[in-house]
Structure 1
């Protein structure tokens, strides 16, 4: 039937605005999807909009002979006090696990955590290290107040679970405004430039096995550093020159960590690459 002979259908005329509206909605949806894709392609994502962790870990150090802390009075913890401290820890509702750490284990962790010279490493002995209990916390809350004055306890350090734990696998710390140490590749220069950050990002985008790429600004990084070290937020909004921006990566493959290290460790603006804190 020729087009001009198509009978007029009043129902079709009524339905057409509805059909057009549906088409416009679908096109708008496609447009949003394309925009999100282009936005993701154009640069890294900001940190996820997620609640800050409330969990953490604590080290409960025990008094040794000659401990200067007021709670020790120069005396080493006695066996009965050690047992009382452990029972108290296990009985607290916010405690999910307790592990005793010997002096030998503490010395091993100490040397691993700090880049010491051979001379310095030899200077520290097992007898210099305190015994401790390592405690997993479902909430950092009032743990310090409950434990710090127990007989036989010298110090208590509470650390929060990093914001990035479970959200990313690898952190790429960029050059800060002030170089963090004499062996840093950032020594003698300032913070990573916009061009350097763009080059690092594009290098990461071109690697296989890389999922989401987040860029954490200095304010967010400062908050996370204080939480991970002290289980508290910064006292004010001050930014510290040695805390840099960082890329945080979600890895799709087990071999991606090595590929990341090989690809970006020597790029200008990169300070170091490390596994995310748990």
Structure 2
């Protein structure tokens, strides 16, 4: 894959003038059981050296590491400004996790749910239990309406009422056996523990690109198409950083998060650091009409 995107050309006069190039109630111990051993952190497997220089960032008042440019004069006297997305940050894989407890609903076909959601008393008992379980923090109730809004915002084709209400919590030491134990309790349809996503706390949004099999009717994104998507992102006001995650790293991240050994249908992914949450609303319109994009969503 190319590591440099040529996006502009300036005359020699501009270069020699000194102007810099800028780029733009059950006992808790019965439910929790034994906790699995913590995995040793590993370094991110795929990363490359940053091609964006700090000096170019500083010349436009940006933070080091922001989308930036490097320039040089070619044999034809033209200064080419080359801009690249940032590589995957060098960081250990997260060892924490998250818990999602989906409540019964009218749409749930399980016999135990009897075609209705939990009573208020059942929800209170579930919440109290989760807050008492060792290793859980940040227990939060997510209504069906909020889940529906999030899905629609992320471009997921969901019908209203199709996503049930849930409780979510942070898990200090992920224990995959906790989900099935909680799922046996009244009012709970299913529950699952996930490992923390590699990009949690590192980026605010992601743009998933077409890989070999994840976009219907076509193959992986081409270099030209990737260039166009990156150019649209890097010039979008409020986008501070653009990282490019390789397909290999994305697959490894998915396997770790989901405890799966299969290979998902994914491609490369651009991960974005935004100046504020409202910038997300501009991303999808900025990419409209550009081929090679599968999905735009927030990191939640």
Please confirm whether the aligned pair reaches a TM-score higher than 0.5, indicating the same fold.
yes
Please report how far the alpha carbon of residue 87 of structure 1 lies from its aligned counterpart in structure 2 after TM superposition.
Answer: 3.2
Aligned runs of 1:97-108 on 2, under 5 Å? 97-100=138-141, 105-106=143-144
- Which residue of 271, 289, 292 corresponds with 1:269? 292
- Check the 8 A contact 1:265/1:272 in 2, yes or no: no
Superposed CA RMSD? 4.1
Q: Which has the higher strand share?
A: 2
Please report how far the alpha carbon of residue 129 of structure 1 lies from its aligned counterpart in structure 2 after TM superposition.
Answer: 7.7
| 2:220 corresponds to 1:197 | no
SS of residue in 2 equivalent to 1:212: strand
Please report how far the alpha carbon of residue 82 of structure 1 lies from its aligned counterpart in structure 2 after TM superposition.
Answer: 5.5
| 2:174 corresponds to 1:140 | yes
Q: Which has the larger radius of gyration?
A: 1
Check 1:190–1:170 CA distance in 2 against 1; reply closer, same or farther (3 A cut). Answer: same
Please report how far the alpha carbon of residue 51 of structure 1 lies from its aligned counterpart in structure 2 after TM superposition.
Answer: 2.3
Identify the residue that residue 166 of structure 1 maps to in structure 2: 201
Please report how far the alpha carbon of residue 144 of structure 1 lies from its aligned counterpart in structure 2 after TM superposition.
Answer: 2.3
Check 1:200–1:140 CA distance in 2 against 1; reply closer, same or farther (3 A cut). Answer: same
Deviations 1:65-97 (A, max 9, x none): x9636xx49698787766554433221112113
Output the TM-score relative to the length of structure 2: 0.56
| 2:84 corresponds to 1:43 | yes
- Check the 8 A contact 1:170/1:274 in 2, yes or no: yes
Please report how far the alpha carbon of residue 110 of structure 1 lies from its aligned counterpart in structure 2 after TM superposition.
Answer: 4.3
Output the TM-score relative to the length of structure 1: 0.60
- Check the 8 A contact 1:209/1:252 in 2, yes or no: yes
Q: How many residues align?
A: 220
Please report how far the alpha carbon of residue 193 of structure 1 lies from its aligned counterpart in structure 2 after TM superposition.
Answer: 0.5
Q: Which has the higher helix share?
A: 1
How many Å separate the matches in 2 of 1:254 and 1:108?
A: 17
- Check the 8 A contact 2:136/2:172 in 1, yes or no: yes
Structure 1 residue runs of 5 or longer lacking an equivalent are 1-32, 181-186
Please report how far the alpha carbon of residue 164 of structure 1 lies from its aligned counterpart in structure 2 after TM superposition.
Answer: 1.8
Structure 2 residue runs of 5 or longer lacking an equivalent are 1-48, 54-69, 72-80
Please report how far the alpha carbon of residue 174 of structure 1 lies from its aligned counterpart in structure 2 after TM superposition.
Answer: 1.4
